[in-house]
Amino acid sequence: MNLQIDPYWRAHCAAVIPCLNEANTIGDVVRQTLLYLPKVIVVDDGSTDQTAHVAQSAGAEVLSSAGQLGVPASAAQPVPRGKGAALLAGWNRAAELGFRWALNLDGDGQHSPDDIPNFFRDLPNDQPALVIGNRMHNPNAMPWLRRKVNRWMTARLARRAGLPLADSQCGFRLVHLGSLAQMALATRHFEIESELILAAARLGVPIKFVPIQVIYKQGSSKIHPLLDTLRWFRWFRRAK
C-alpha cells in the first residue's frame, strides 16, 4: 500500500491523531496509517483507558495534550484539554521533528487510513495548502442532524471566508506546517477546525477538498452537542 505515496510525502509528512479514550480502535488506526506515512504522533487528551499504551505498542509516539513534548500521556494528569489543544501539541511535535506537513485524522476509526493517498494526489510538493476530507459528496451515511448542522456551518464559514467550501467540519485534513506557524490560532476545542479554515483563507493558503469514505460508529463522537455548539457560536461571533 505504501507504494501509492510519493517519496516526498513519506519523507515530509507525519500523521497527528488526537485521542480521548480510544483504546478499542487506536491500535488499528496507527498500524494502518504507518503503511502510508513514516511517523504517527498520537496526542492523548487525558484518556482514562489504555489509549496511550495501545497506541505506543502499535508504533506511535504518544504525547500529552498538555504540550509536554516527549512525555508519555500516561505520565500526565488525565485532564482533557480539548481537541484543539491536542492538535496544537501534535503539530508542534511534527514541526520539531522537521516535518513540513501534518495529516490529521481521528483515532475512533471514522477516518479510513486507506483514504490517505487522496490528500496528496495532484498536490505540488512545495506548495502550501490546506486539504480537507469531503464527506458531503455522499452524505447519506451521516446522521441527519449532523448533515444539516455541517451544511449550515459550512455555508456561514464560506461566506465569511469568501470561498466555496464543501465540508468545513471534517477533521481529516492535511496541514502545511510552515503556513500554520503564521496563524495565531486561539481556540482549544472542536472549533479549531473552523478557525483553521478562516486563518488559511486570510493568509491566502489554497483550500482544497478531496472525497473520503463516510464512516459513522454509534456513540464514537466526542463532540458535546450543546457545549461545543455554544463554543462554535461564541468563536464565530468574534472571528470577524
pLDDT digits (tens, 9 = 90+) for 167-183: 999 999 999 999 999 99
Instruction: Report d(CA 63, CA 72) in Å as an integer.
Output: 5
Q: What is the pLDDT of residues 64-110, one digit of tens each?
A: 876 544 445 444 446 889 999 999 999 999 999 999 999 999 999 99
Q: Rounded CA gap, 114 and 167, in Å?
A: 19
Domain ranges of the chain: 2-238
Q: How confident is the model at residue 232 (pLDDT cuts 50, 70, 90)?
A: confident
DSSP lists the bridge partners of residue 61 as: 41
| Stated pTM of the model | 0.90
Which secondary-structure segment (H or E) carries 103? strand 101-104
Assign a CATH topology to domain 2-238.
Answer: Spore Coat Polysaccharide Biosynthesis Protein SpsA; Chain A (3.90.550)
pLDDT at 10: 92
On the question of pLDDT at 217 being above 90, the answer is no
- The owner of cell 441527519 is 144
Number of neighbouring beta carbons within 10 Å of residue 10: 14
Query: What is the Cα–Cα distance from 29 to 27, expressed in whole angstroms?
Result: 5
Cα–Cα distance, 12 to 39 (Å, whole number): 10
